């Protein structure tokens, strides 16, 4: 049968309503694009129904909708014709990371500095980063607490919640961080946010004078943190990281904000040494700078006694401590918090009020009860040995199967760890295979501003079991062995920390025999 339209019409094999909607949308788009020109009659409904293999009522309903919307003009005793409309301009598909030339945007948004993550189709069990395991979460307890909160809310009058968060949740968070991370604070010091990302944004708005304030960020480091400060107009200063954390002795004297992940550096996983923490606090005190401490997954510790948070060591009210429940519970909860110095508390609450007034009250109430009744602490205790087993399986597989090519970077916390490529000249052959056979893993180059770091890859173990980790790394080893140009990477007599740009006068660097940074 001859096609009834000059363009293809693709309909799903679904219910009547779905078919009607699909036909209506495709005809509407064809009219707006000019593929159905003005004043042209549409084919008879019976002919369209026969050609598309649908009921005639489906076509009639789609036509009627277009008439009601003004896209078709009905003709008594004749076929409807296409109305004369202003056509929409044909647009080319946008290229990745192209400059936005919309002059009505504020200058900072004309060139996108943070692209939304492209949707990647990954197996349910993969090495993806930053995702905890849903299978072990106490969903029944959460549903019960949610039901209780909803019933209470139905008996209460409507009202706007405090911008800083409801008192019950702020009190619960203060008790939680005091117990889990030895962070000294009261409920008055806590400001509830929509995840850690809003916390970064609020602090950036409060502290950054556009075009003037210099903000030190880790290199490599967490891109959304850089984005929040860049959007506020900060002048970013990338700072190198070594196996003691951020290189404090490289900090310029004129930085006024220092953003760090001292407990589990993102993405390398190293912990900032106690010596380096003291030096960072002293630098901030001497130069009137402030520190933004991102403790995004500090609850999961697998080594010895955890190092104290910077906020715990702070005696001069210099540290903004940021936490989130995305790793300890689940990302869609969208709850984070800031433990703010007393001098900044009211200003930060004002910024929060301007940004979104307040977080939703229902989930705040549920989370408060979940923490207060001890469910969060029990869940963390339950998950810690599960994640520890996966971490050990990953470390064992990296050493046993991939030790010729990859060297794990020391890490004792969190839900991911990184491994550097021993011979950077082999990265072009190793990295694609690694990202393919270890689905969800990421190149640390994606976290860098300067792209001058040596290659490494970060593996998450939040949603993949130990046996699956071992099997995936065996497959990766087999794939690498088939690369003839790769050869066998030499085993060095002592480890070389090629991934990091070394700090000046670093005793750890001297002990490891690290040379000058690569240019």
Spatial distance between the Cα atoms of 408 and 406, rounded to a whole number of angstroms: 7
Write the CA distances from 149 to 363, 368, 518, integer angstroms.
Answer: 8, 10, 56
pLDDT band (50, 70, 90) for residue 108: confident
Percent of the chain with pLDDT over 70: 86
Write out pLDDT tens, residues 167-199: 999 999 999 999 888 898 999 999 999 999 999
pLDDT at 509 over 50: no
More confident of the two residues 86 and 441: 441
Spatial distance between the Cα atoms of 168 and 116, rounded to a whole number of angstroms: 34
Coil, strand or helix: which one is 388?
Answer: helix
Q: Which of 50-54, 292-296, 435-439 is the least confident region?
A: 50-54
pLDDT at 239 over 60: yes
pLDDT at 513 over 70: no
447 contacts 221 by C-beta, under 8 angstroms: yes
pLDDT at 515 over 70: no
- H or E stretch at 72: strand 72-75
Given this model, what pLDDT does residue 409 score?
Answer: 93
pLDDT at 120 over 80: no
Mean model confidence pLDDT for the chain: 86
Write out pLDDT tens, residues 273-287: 999 999 999 999 999
Tokens of 236: 């970013």
Tokens of 32: 């707006």
DSSP secondary structure of 205-257 = HHH--TTT-EEEEEES--HHHHHHHHHTT-EEEEEEEETTEE-GGG--TT--E
More confident of the two residues 262 and 2: 262
Sign of CA dihedral 252, 257, 262, 265: negative
Query: If you count them, how many residues does the chain have?
Result: 519
Given this model, what pLDDT does residue 220 score?
Answer: 94
Domains and CATH numbers, the chain: 16-82 (1.10.10.10), 138-374 (3.40.640.10), 378-512 (3.90.1150.10)
pLDDT at 492 over 50: no
How close are the terminal C-alpha atoms of the chain, in Å?
Answer: 67
Q: Which of 18-27, 88-97, 292-301, 460-469 has the highest mean pLDDT?
A: 460-469
Q: Which of 26-35, 130-139, 271-280, 349-358 is the least confident region?
A: 26-35
pLDDT band (50, 70, 90) for residue 305: low
Coil, strand or helix: which one is 122?
Answer: coil
Spatial distance between the Cα atoms of 197 and 259, rounded to a whole number of angstroms: 13
Write the CA distances from 243 to 408, 449, 498, 512, integer angstroms.
Answer: 12, 19, 11, 10
Q: Which of 104-108, 423-427, 505-509 has the highest mean pLDDT?
A: 423-427
| Degrees, nearest 5: CA angle 441-445-447 | 85
90 contacts 101 by C-beta, under 8 angstroms: no
Q: What is the pTM of this model?
A: 0.76
pLDDT at 338 over 80: yes
């Amino acid at each position: 049968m001859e096609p009834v339209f000059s363009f293809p019409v693709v309909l799903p094999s679904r219910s009547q309503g779905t078919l009607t909607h699909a036909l209506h949308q495709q005809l509407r788009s064809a009219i707006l694009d000019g593929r159905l020109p003005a004043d042209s009659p549409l084919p008879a409904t019976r002919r369209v129904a026969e050609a598309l293999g649908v009921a005639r009522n489906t076509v009639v309903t789609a036509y009627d909708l277009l008439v009601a919307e003004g896209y078709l003009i009905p003709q008594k005793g004749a076929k409807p014709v296409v109305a004369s409309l202003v056509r929409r301009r044909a647009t080319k598909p946008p290229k990745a990371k192209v400059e936005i030339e919309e002059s009505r945007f504020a200058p900072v948004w004309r060139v996108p500095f943070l692209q939304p993550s492209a949707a990647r189709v990954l197996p349910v069990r993969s090495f993806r980063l930053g995702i905890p395991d849903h299978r072990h979460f106490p969903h029944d307890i959460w549903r019960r607490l949610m039901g209780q909160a909803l019933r209470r809310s139905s008996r209460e009058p409507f009202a706007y919640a405090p911008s800083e968060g409801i008192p019950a949740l702020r009190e619960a968070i203060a008790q939680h961080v005091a117990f889990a991370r030895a962070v000294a604070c009261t409920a008055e010091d806590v400001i509830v946010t929509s995840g850690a990302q809003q916390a970064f944004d609020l602090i950036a708005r409060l502290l950054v004078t556009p075009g003037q304030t210099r903000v030190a960020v880790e290199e490599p480091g967490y891109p959304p943190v850089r984005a929040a400060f860049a959007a506020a107009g900060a002048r970013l200063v990338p700072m190198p990281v070594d196996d003691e954390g951020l290189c404090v002795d490289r900090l310029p004297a004129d930085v006024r904000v220092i953003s760090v992940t001292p407990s589990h550096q993102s993405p390398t996983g190293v912990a900032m040494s106690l010596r380096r923490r003291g030096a960072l606090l002293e630098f901030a005190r001497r130069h009137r700078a402030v520190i933004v401490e991102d403790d995004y997954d500090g609850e999961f510790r697998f080594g010895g006694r955890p190092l104290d948070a910077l906020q715990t060591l702070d005696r001069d009210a210099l540290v903004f401590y940021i936490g989130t429940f995305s790793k300890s519970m689940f990302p869609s909860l969208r709850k984070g918090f800031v433990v703010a110095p007393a001098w900044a508390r009211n200003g930060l609450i004002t910024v929060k009020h301007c940004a979104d007034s307040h977080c939703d009250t229902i989930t705040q109430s549920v989370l408060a009860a979940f923490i207060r009744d001890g469910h969060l602490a029990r869940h963390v205790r339950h998950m810690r040995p599960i994640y520890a087993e996966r971490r050990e399986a990953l470390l064992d597989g990296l050493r046993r199967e991939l030790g010729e090519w990859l060297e794990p970077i020391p890490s004792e916390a969190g839900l991911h760890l990184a491994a550097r490529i021993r011979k950077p000249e082999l990265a072009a052959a190793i990295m694609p295979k690694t990202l393919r056979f270890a689905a969800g893993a990421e190149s640390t180059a994606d976290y860098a501003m300067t792209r001058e770091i040596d290659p490494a890859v970060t593996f998450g173990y939040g949603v993949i079991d130990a046996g699956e980790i071992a099997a995936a790394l065996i497959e990766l080893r087999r794939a690498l062995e088939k690369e003839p140009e790769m050869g066998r990477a030499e085993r060095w007599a002592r480890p070389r920390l090629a991934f990091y740009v070394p700090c000046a006068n670093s005793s750890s660097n001297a002990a490891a025999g690290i040379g000058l940074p690569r240019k």
